[in-house]
Amino acid sequence: MLDRDLAELFGVETKVLKQSVKRNMERFPEDFMFEMSPEEFQNWRSQFVTSNSDKKGLRYAPFCFTEQGVTMLSCVLNSKRAIHVNIQIVRIFTKLRQFIVDHSEIKLEISEIKKQLSNHSKNIEVVFQYLDELLEKKDQPKERVRIGFHFGKDNN
């Protein structure tokens, strides 16, 4: 997010936000915040016709903040709104972590159910194979060996 948008969100002037960042630069490594390069700034600025101060502050290259930078910024600023936003950010991150944990548990449970179903389908397949074999045996009866007294040519 850009410094001017965050300034509006936190209820401070962009100038105050930038001063707070400059006073606390050690809290804002490159992966938290960066300033647009001259080329990026010129390209971004060319998308707007004028550079009046009321036209989104296009005179100076803005600071650009990542999620972590927004969180750190809310810790650095002292306005009541910044404190409120900081509390909201912490609550949202807590909810996101819990969601991820819950989602991971559900994925594990689904995986376990899939394994069980896979085993059940294999077991059912074996049962059907045995039933097929029994049906084949029933269709092809074996000749039974007769026991007892036989009448025939050999028995004279």
As a whole number of angstroms, the distance between CA 12 and CA 57 comes to: 14
* Nearest in space to 66 (alpha carbons), one of 13, 28, 9, 38: 28
pTM above 0.75?
A: no
User: pLDDT tens for residues 70-129?
Assistant: 888 888 888 888 888 888 888 888 898 888 888 878 788 888 888 877 777 777 888 888
Alpha-carbon distance 59 to 10, whole Å? Answer: 21
CA atoms 97, 103, 109, 114: torsion sign: negative
121-128's contacts with Cβ under 8 Å and 24+ in sequence apart are none
